[in-house]
Structure 1
Amino acid sequence: MPIQFEQQFTHMLPALDSKKNELHLYGYTSVTEKDIWTYCVRKKWRRKDVASMRVFEIAKDILRISPAEFMTFTQIEEQRDSSWFSDLNSEELQALLAPQKVEKN
């Protein structure tokens, strides 16, 4: 994370904490301030120059995050990052994905 993101993250901790507490009320108790910040950087601000954003714009974006949009993003990121078959070698993977012959009676 570049220096400006770290400084802005520190300034935004009250807003991030408020959003974290809201998400905890909805049952998403594993969410952290860092998770919310990562969501904003990767999703909300991916085409913006965060360094040039004003404090109230950043806080507004954080506080407007809906639980549904945050969790959708989180689930998509988990699916992208997961390696479901990483423990299998190529032969095991081939056997798993090979079509099965169906016997007719």
Structure 2
Amino acid sequence: MLDFTEQYDMVLPALESKIAEFHYMQYDTVTPESLWQFCLKKKWKKKNIEDMRLHEMVNDIMGTTASEFVAYHQVEGLKGASFFAEGNLAELEQLLRPASKKPTSN
């Protein structure tokens, strides 16, 4: 996947400005790089980034809301979660195991 370093460098002030806004709203974990990746993978998924004009990129960055950024990352987190991974396998088996019958005393 291309990084588009030249475009990133051009819009870095806009990214930093948006990050400052997110930090003001208590979204402290957002970085310019994570916002850039969000734009590449979500906002500009169907666009040719090399042909985009600077003002289009800046407009998209500045128009990004915290809720759409967070929602995207929640969905991506769910996509990446593997419930059948080694650590989760024991929990899954415990959930699917039938309850053992208690011996009845007569």
With structure 2 as the length reference, what TM-score do the two structures score? 0.82
Number of equivalent positions: 103
Q: State the shift of 1:84 in Å.
A: 4.3
Separation (CA, whole Å) in 2 of partners of 1:77 and 1:89 = 19
Q: State the shift of 1:80 in Å.
A: 1.2
Separation (CA, whole Å) in 2 of partners of 1:89 and 1:45 = 34
Does the CA contact (< 8 Å) of 1:85 and 1:93 recur in 2?
Answer: no
Q: Deviations over 1:43-87 (max 9, x none)?
A: 100000011000000000000001111110011111112234423
1:64 maps to 63
2:34 maps to 35
Does residue 94 of structure 2 align to residue 96 of structure 1?
yes
1:51 maps to 50
Q: State the shift of 1:98 in Å.
A: 2.0
Larger Rg: 2
Q: What RMSD over aligned residues (CA atoms) do the two structures have, in Å?
A: 2.5
Distance 1:84 1:24, change over 3 A: farther
Separation (CA, whole Å) in 2 of partners of 1:82 and 1:26 = 27
1:2 maps to 2
Identity %: 33
Distance 1:94 1:61, change over 3 A: closer
* Structure 1: gaps of 5 or more residues: none
With structure 1 as the length reference, what TM-score do the two structures score? 0.83
One-letter amino acid matched to 1:13: L
